[in-house]
Amino acid sequence: MERQILLQDDFKSFKIGPFPFDREHSAMGEYHYYPVKGYCGQWYDPIVNTNYRGPSWLITEEDGHKYMEQMRVRNPLTKGASPILAAGDPDWEDYTVSVKLRALKTTEEAGILFRYQTSLMHYAFYLNDGKCQFWKIEKRERKLIRECEFPYNCDDLYELSVVCCGDTYHCLIDGREVLTVQDDRYLYGKIALSSYMPAQYTDVRVDTDDASYRRYVEKKKATWERVAKKRLKYAQPKLYKVIDLQNFGAARQVRFGHLMGGDDWYFVIAQHQKRVFKDRYAMISCLTAVSVETGEVLWQSGEPSELEDNHNVTCDLPFQIYDIDGDGFDEVVMSRNFKLMILDGRDGSVKKNGSHARQ
């Protein structure tokens, strides 16, 4: 019976080199949508490990074959988390996943994850220290469900397969069933590659039978229809206005208020300069007050710049809009050059200037 292919990859679409990763290993992703640059194909890396400064995954080639190679060594600081490369659809239910694997270290786990929901919620089929193992990972609990002896080496490729059918899992190596497990914790999810020590992967395939594929398609269709119907109950976003930020633009450092009193909205946007190290001592270099309605600059304090740093910041800059004296006009409270200041929201002039806080 012909199978429906859900995913297939021999990594030949990749050029040799590192799989895209955050080269800064910074906190940027906590503050911004910050996609890594480069070709990822069908895959993504859900693990950010700041203990390292390089890629976790590397595309290599040998005798015309491409491999996705996990190149990290186990680090006790990661507390059980392994490098992971995930792909697929979270709505997959019954399917067969297979991959060819060469474990370059035979005394640590290397294999595939399935019914993958998050990096902390999934099943795993591993080769590990002369055994094959079925694991259930749920948050901080890692439970070995079943294992059996399976001698293997670091020179040969082994085809690992898992047939997911309801709450039953058939685990095979090179076409021979080695483990059968029943567990109903995870009944749907993606797939992923996972190893604690260097390992090479190729020829990943996920397929399913016609009946399961039809259920999957119907489930996706029902989800799309339900979401579309729900969206109709709410206001649809529309572009209201485009404002040219000229040379005073920044990232998320924006505050809104009634600087001129009344109901008219204004925003104040802050640029900064980094001091000492990364973003730990970022200081405001320029504040600009702008009318939301007209886009006109109301006032500006400091010198604007087009430095890329103004778009890349992982801290909150010290300024806020509030009618602190109760006169009906919002003030701008800010800290700049080690001084706490209150600015008149109407023209940016200093209403109150605190003493130096330098130590």
At 68, list the tokens. Answer: 């996705």
Residue 356 banded pLDDT, cuts 50, 70, 90: low
Mean pLDDT within 127-145? 96
The pairing of strands 110-118 and 266-273 is: unpaired
- Judged against a pLDDT cut of 80, whether residue 141 lies above it is answered with yes
Look at residue 357 in the predicted model and tell me its pLDDT: 47
Residue 99 banded pLDDT, cuts 50, 70, 90: very high
Look at residue 16 in the predicted model and tell me its pLDDT: 97
Distance of alpha carbon 337 from alpha carbon 307, whole angstroms? 19
- Judged against a pLDDT cut of 70, whether residue 359 lies above it is answered with no
Distance of alpha carbon 162 from alpha carbon 133, whole angstroms? 12
Look at residue 358 in the predicted model and tell me its pLDDT: 45
Q: What is the dihedral of CA 239, 241, 242, 245, to 10 degrees?
A: -130
Residue 316 banded pLDDT, cuts 50, 70, 90: confident
Are residues 205 and 7 in contact, defined by beta-carbon separation less than 8 angstroms? yes
* Exposure on the CB side of residue 297, measured as CA atoms within 13 A: 14
Q: Look-up: residue for tokens 């800064």?
A: 24
- Judged against a pLDDT cut of 50, whether residue 126 lies above it is answered with yes
* Exposure on the CB side of residue 219, measured as CA atoms within 13 A: 13
Q: Domains in the chain, ordered, with CATH?
A: 4-220 (2.60.120.560), 254-353 (no CATH)
Q: Could you read off the pLDDT of 181-201 as tens digits, one per residue?
A: 999 999 999 999 999 999 999
Look at residue 77 in the predicted model and tell me its pLDDT: 66
Mean pLDDT within 94-107? 97
Look at residue 355 in the predicted model and tell me its pLDDT: 60
Are residues 104 and 197 in contact, defined by beta-carbon separation less than 8 angstroms? yes
Q: Name the DSSP letter for residue 218.
A: H
Q: Could you read off the pLDDT of 19-48 as tens digits, one per residue?
A: 998 887 777 777 777 788 899 999 999 987
At 117, list the tokens. Answer: 């929901």
Question: 112: exposed, middle or buried (C-beta count within 10 Å: 0-12, 13-18, 19+)?
Answer: buried
**What's the chain's average pLDDT?**
92
Q: Could you read off the pLDDT of 246-262 as tens digits, one per residue?
A: 999 998 899 999 999 98
